Amino acid sequence: MGSFLKTALPVLLGLAIASPAMADAAAGSKVFKSNCGVCHSTTGAPGVGPSLAGVVGRKAGSLANFKSQYSPAMKASGLTWSAEELEKYITNPAKVVPGNRMPFAGLHDAAQVDSLVAYLKTLK
């Protein structure tokens, strides 16, 4: 039994740690609609905020059809929106980019953040 636990425990812990990677993009779509969709589109056309179509891998403050509306802080942030950077920003936008114009306090539910990022990854 002891050797079983030595083998099984790391596997089970690995599954628990990997669970954020298994975030649900469908659930993220709902999180987007209820938290982000008021200001952001997913179609390429800007709204109050920039479109989030193709956001993963994009340099912050660089969307051509929104460039004049980004805050100086966002333009100067030097960020590229990786999944990790998006997770940090979605959790606390004011901390990640002080002086940004987005009036959003952040999502504090890790499952919602993970699902939202999974959804954003699907947007092309």
Question: What is the pTM for the complete model shown?
Answer: 0.81
Q: At what angle do helices 83-91 and 110-122 cross, to 10 degrees?
A: 130
Q: Distance of CA 124 to CAs 1, 46, 54, 58, Å?
A: 49, 15, 4, 11
Domain range summary for the chain, segments of one domain joined by +: 24-122
How does DSSP classify residue 44?
A: S
CATH number at 24-122:
1.10.760.10
Where the chain has pLDDT below 50, the residues are: 4-5, 9, 11, 13, 15-21
The per-residue pLDDT for range 82-118, each reduced to its tens digit, is: 999 999 999 999 999 999 999 999 999 999 999 999 9
pLDDT the model gives residue 23 = 83
